[in-house]
């Protein structure tokens, strides 16, 4: 026997082997459609009996394996079913001749055969035949299953007759010696009358009868025959057949203890007929009770099932059988070395190891199972083909997976994948190679979902994982799928960046750029033909983002709440002074929501602190913001980060197009030709000051100019919440001058309202008079004595009637209004005035421009030494020149929206 059956399990010893093959030209799809229906009839209850026949179907079976049918009867092809197409009566003789030729291939062992003919109609099809079934088409064959059941019953009749014939003790007849193929020449010339020879013949026949009883559903009888065969064969040192008898004894015991089977197939095998199997099926359920309500006792069960091995003894007998197959010595049952003198029995030994592993997997004895598998690895067979090597390594991988050796399983599956693309194969199977490589990923703690690598520390051996990813890339390239190459290279670069050397980083990025030149990387999910989905791989480490901060609008564009007419806004959120639930929820909202606002249509900014982990300059293209909540136009940016740079600030901008709550979820980039959408939730260790901000409706934008020149001095910088413009003018007492203020609407919204108010603020040395024109505040100097007494009254006046006629001010339109400035000083009863004024009067410049809702900063007073001679003339001030420099501060109140917002400008 040269071709091992790696799918064998212990319960296969009780099955009858039936081969189903096509004859002539039969469409593959149609053949397997009928084959599936045939193979569904795998268990048949024997009429007038409680026994059950189990059938094992194969659509391909090597004829040389059939020669080992006397050694183990489940290897013998006892049934043949052929499927063919015949469209006319002329083709029928030739078709029937092919059927006979097919039967001759397995003729020495066949019990019965059937021919299913599709497409032939007429007189030939109407003739009743037992071995041929005619069907008009593949869709009109309702009786296939019934034909198969009748066919199996015919197999049982032949099987039962052979069992009775072999089991009957015919003392007068000479028992034939059953041989395996390579033994026939070894027994030529032996003394057939010797006691040793007769015992050999008896022992082999007992073993053979035990096989027939097991196939016929007589489990108890098979156990008896196997025990007798073991004793006879052990006495004559017939090691090969002794191993077969022990294996048969193990198989019968496994069938008794594990009626559901050990092959791991879907669905369980039905219990054998009789009370024996019924008890076994009830016995091995966890917590099962006997009829008297007491937990089942294993020793009592074995007493009822005479000659049945215990689960522990099954494994010991398997080891003994394998030792006889391979003539091996067990050294502390640690490692098994195959030293078989029966080179042709290597397949038998290998299959016995596989069966033992399946039993051990049921018993949860992983370490012992690994010893059997290690022995199977070292068994030397003939020169295997590449396809047989792939099958062998795949089954080893499957068995290691069953016993929980996941990394070992992945190792053998990876070897099988490499065999699919071996150089000796004329047409390498790169698709099969790629599929097997994907199946090895769990064994190496590797997932193709980048989200799994952001959860704590790295798992698995990074070096092995990188090697496997490189092999996936190579297999994808040989398959002609550049999108897969890009996805796997992106995954390698993203997840293994910390383990790559500088040279490896350069090599991987160069390869990635070469692939993306043909097929750019996207954020779309790639679906493979077998249904597996590869999630997108965003480059969250290229560059690495450490913090994200939403920035307020520039001072000139910031909106401000307008004062309520009632003075203070009344909160209606809760009638209670304090509530812990409300406080907690408000605290969470405060962490997510920003305390400032963005305006629809204005450019908004988000600042990121990034750094480049690569040993070379990193170019990031098309970097922009990802948002939800409102329509947002992201304005992409490009940046170039130096090699291994420190934290580097990057500002991303965009324009909200609608109003509402906007949430900044992340950013998008294009690096090495791969487009990435990076979400903040997936960035470990990123610090944010909140990511949700309110976008209010668009506000007007106003540009102001005056007829007075700008002042070169300011008393104090603005607080940052207002925009200031300083203009100055020098006037003599009694002099008047007009200040023309030009208002131009440079925005897209109309300016609808203009309000004017006046306010006086006193300081230590001078006073400040403010006139508020809808936020346009003019500040003038008012002279004061140190004691705080006023020296003059109001000096600003205006008329807004003509100006208000131009409102609402449309976008692009201009309005003007005039402010009259008149200096009128009263110096009566001021004895020490000359000590407070210089020869040139008082020059005040650079008064602060601040909001009327905030405290006005004290002005700076510049004085010069007074002339004592000129100051001696008390009460005569006509020669005194009073120089007054005005500082104009402008705040623009914009039209009120539904939220009561205004903008300073």
Mean pLDDT within 262-288: 44
- Start-to-end Cα distance in the chain: 96
pLDDT digits (tens, 9 = 90+) for 285-294: 333 333 333 3
**pLDDT band, very low/low/confident/very high, at 129 (cuts 50, 70, 90):** confident
- pLDDT at position 275 over 50: no
Q: What is the 3-state secondary structure (H, E, C) of 621-649?
A: EEEEEEEECCCEEEECEEEEECCCCCCEE
Mean pLDDT within 538-566: 82
Dihedral sign, CA of 137, 139, 142, 145? positive
564: alpha, beta or left? (left if phi > 0; alpha if psi -120 to 50): beta
pLDDT at residue 192, as a whole number = 76
What burial class does residue 451 get, using C-beta atoms within 10 Å of its C-beta: 0-12 exposed, 13-18 middle, 19+ buried? exposed
Angle made by CA atoms 92, 38, 209, in degrees to the nearest 5? 105
pLDDT at residue 842, as a whole number = 40
pLDDT digits (tens, 9 = 90+) for 185-195: 666 667 778 88
DSSP, residue by residue, 581-622: HHHHHHHHHHHHEEEEEEETTS-EEEEEEEE--SSS-EEEEE
State the DSSP code for 90.
G
Please state whether the peptide bond connecting residue 295 to the residue before it is cis, i.e. omega within 30 degrees of 0: no
Assess contact for 143 and 133: CB atoms under 8 A: yes
712: CB partners within 8 A, 6+ apart:
845, 846
pLDDT at residue 646, as a whole number = 84
pLDDT digits (tens, 9 = 90+) for 330-378: 323 333 333 344 556 788 999 999 999 999 999 999 999 999 999 888 8
What are phi and psi for residue 666, nearest 5 degrees? Answer: 170, -150
CA 210, chain centre distance (Å): 53
Computed over every residue of the chain, the mean pLDDT equals 78
Q: Three-state DSSP class for 5?
A: coil
> In the chain, what percentage of residues exceed pLDDT 90?
48
Mean pLDDT within 491-498: 94
Mean pLDDT within 547-576: 68
What burial class does residue 760 get, using C-beta atoms within 10 Å of its C-beta: 0-12 exposed, 13-18 middle, 19+ buried? middle
pLDDT at residue 281, as a whole number = 40
Q: Percent helix, strand and coil across the chain, each rounded to 5?
A: 35, 20, 40
Mean pLDDT within 593-616: 91
pLDDT digits (tens, 9 = 90+) for 791-822: 444 567 877 787 888 888 888 888 887 888 88
pLDDT at residue 521, as a whole number = 94
- Give this prediction's pTM: 0.74
Highest mean pLDDT out of 453-457, 594-598, 836-840: 594-598
Give whole-number Cα distances, 607 to 635, 669, 688, 736, in Å: 14, 15, 10, 51
pLDDT digits (tens, 9 = 90+) for 134-150: 999 999 899 999 999 99
**pLDDT band, very low/low/confident/very high, at 265 (cuts 50, 70, 90):** low
Tell which wins on pLDDT, 184 or 484: 484
State the DSSP code for 88.
S
d(CA 621, CA 476): 27
pLDDT at residue 267, as a whole number = 38
pLDDT at residue 854, as a whole number = 30
Mean pLDDT within 455-484: 92
Assess contact for 51 and 273: CB atoms under 8 A: yes
d(CA 784, CA 868): 22
């Amino acid at each position: 026997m040269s071709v091992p059956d790696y799918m064998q399990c212990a319960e296969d010893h009780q099955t009858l082997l039936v081969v189903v093959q096509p004859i002539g030209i039969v469409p593959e799809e149609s053949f397997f459609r009928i084959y599936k229906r045939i193979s569904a009839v795998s268990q048949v209850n024997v009429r007038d009996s409680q026994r059950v026949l189990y059938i094992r179907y194969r659509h391909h079976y090597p004829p040389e394996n059939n020669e080992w049918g006397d050694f183990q009867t489940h290897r013998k092809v006892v049934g043949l079913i052929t499927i063919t197409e015949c469209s006319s009566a002329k083709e029928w003789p030739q078709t029937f001749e092919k059927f006979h030729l097919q039967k001759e291939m397995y003729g020495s062992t066949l019990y019965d055969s059937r021919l299913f003919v599709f497409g032939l109609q007429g007189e030939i099809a109407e003739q009743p035949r037992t071995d041929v079934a005619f069907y008009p088409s593949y869709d009109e064959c309702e009786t296939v299953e019934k034909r198969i059941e009748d066919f199996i019953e015919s197999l049982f009749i032949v099987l039962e007759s052979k069992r009775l014939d072999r089991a009957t003790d015919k003392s007068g007849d000479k028992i034939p010696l059953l041989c395996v193929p390579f033994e026939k020449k070894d027994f030529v010339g032996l003394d057939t009358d010797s006691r040793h020879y007769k015992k050999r013949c008896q022992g082999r026949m007992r073993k053979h009868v035990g096989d027939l009883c097991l196939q016929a559903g007589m489990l108890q009888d098979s156990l008896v025959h196997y025990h007798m065969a073991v004793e006879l064969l052990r006495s004559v040192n017939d090691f090969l057949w002794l191993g077969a008898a022990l294996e048969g004894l193990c198989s019968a015991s496994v069938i008794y203890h594990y009626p559901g089977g050990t092959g791991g197939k879907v669905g369980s095998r039905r219990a054998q007929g009789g009370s024996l199997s019924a008890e076994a099926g009830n016995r091995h359920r966890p917590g099962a009770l006997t009829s008297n309500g007491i937990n089942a006792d294993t020793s009592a069960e074995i007493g009822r099932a005479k000659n049945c091995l215990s689960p522990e003894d099954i494994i010991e007998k398997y080891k003994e059988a394998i030792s006889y197959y391979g003539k091996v010595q067990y050294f502390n049952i640690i490692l098994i070395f195959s030293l078989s003198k029966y080179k042709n029995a290597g397949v038998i030994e290998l299959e016995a190891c596989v069966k033992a592993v399946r039993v051990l997997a049921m018993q949860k004895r992983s370490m012992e199972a690994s010893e059997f598998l290690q022995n199977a690895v070292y068994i030397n067979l003939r020169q295997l083909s590449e396809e047989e090597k792939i099958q062998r390594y795949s089954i080893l991988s499957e068995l290691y997976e069953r016993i929980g050796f996941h990394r070992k399983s992945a190792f053998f599956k990876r070897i099988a994948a490499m065999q699919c693309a071996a150089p000796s194969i004329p047409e390498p199977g790169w698709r099969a190679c790629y599929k097997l490589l994907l199946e090895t990923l769990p064994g190496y703690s590797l997932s193709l979902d980048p989200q799994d690598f952001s959860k704590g520390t790295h798992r698995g051996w990074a070096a092995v994982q990188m090697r496997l990813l490189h092999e996936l890339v190579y297999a994808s390239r040989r398959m002609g799928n550049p999108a897969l190459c890009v996805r796997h290279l992106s995954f390698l670069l993203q997840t293994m960046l910390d383990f790559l050397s500088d040279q490896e980083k350069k090599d991987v990025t160069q390869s990635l750029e070469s692939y993306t030149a043909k097929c750019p990387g996207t954020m779309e999910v790639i679906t493979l033909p077998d249904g597996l989905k590869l999630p997108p791989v965003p480059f969250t480490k290229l560059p690495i983002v450490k913090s994200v901060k939403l920035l307020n609008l520039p001072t000139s564009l910031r909106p401000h709440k307008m004062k309520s007419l009632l003075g203070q806004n009344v909160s209606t959120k809760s009638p209670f002074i304090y509530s812990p639930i409300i406080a907690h929820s408000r605290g969470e909202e405060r962490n997510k929501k920003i305390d400032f606002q963005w305006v629809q249509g204005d450019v908004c900014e988000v600042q990121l602190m990034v750094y480049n982990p690569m040993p070379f300059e990193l170019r990031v293209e098309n970097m922009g913001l990802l948002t939800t909540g409102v329509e947002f136009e992201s304005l992409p940016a490009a940046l170039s980060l130096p090699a291994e740079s420190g934290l580097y600030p990057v500002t991303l901008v965009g324009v909200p197009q609608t109003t509402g709550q906007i949430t900044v979820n992340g950013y998008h980039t294009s690096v090495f030709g791969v487009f990435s959408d990076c979400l903040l939730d997936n960035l470990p260790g990123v610090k944010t000051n909140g990511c949700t901000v309110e976008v209010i409706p668009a506000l007007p934008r106003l540009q102001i100019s005056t007829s007075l020149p700008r002042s070169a001095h300011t008393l104090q910088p603005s607080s940052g919440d207002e925009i200031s413009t300083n203009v100055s003018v020098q006037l003599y007492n009694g002099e008047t001058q007009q200040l023309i203020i030009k208002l131009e609407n440079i925005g897209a919204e109309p300016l609808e309202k203009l309000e004017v108010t006046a306010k006086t603020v006193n300081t230590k040395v001078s006073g400040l008079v403010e006139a508020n024109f809808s936020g346009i505040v003019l500040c003038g100097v008012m002279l004061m004595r140190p004691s705080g007494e006023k020296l003059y009254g109001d000096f600003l006046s205006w008329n807004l009637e003509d100006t208000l006629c131009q409102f609402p001010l449309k976008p692009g339109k201009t309005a003007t209004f005039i402010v009259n400035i008149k200096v009128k000083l009263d110096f009566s009863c001021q004895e020490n005035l000359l000590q407070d004024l210089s020869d040139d009067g008082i020059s005040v410049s650079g008064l602060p421009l601040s909001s009327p809702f905030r405290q006005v900063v004290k002005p700076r007073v510049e004085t010069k030494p007074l002339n004592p001679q000129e100051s001696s003339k008390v009460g005569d001030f006509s020669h005194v020149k009073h120089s007054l420099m005005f500082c104009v501060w402008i705040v623009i109140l914009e039209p009120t929206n539904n939220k009561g917002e205004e903008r300073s400008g």
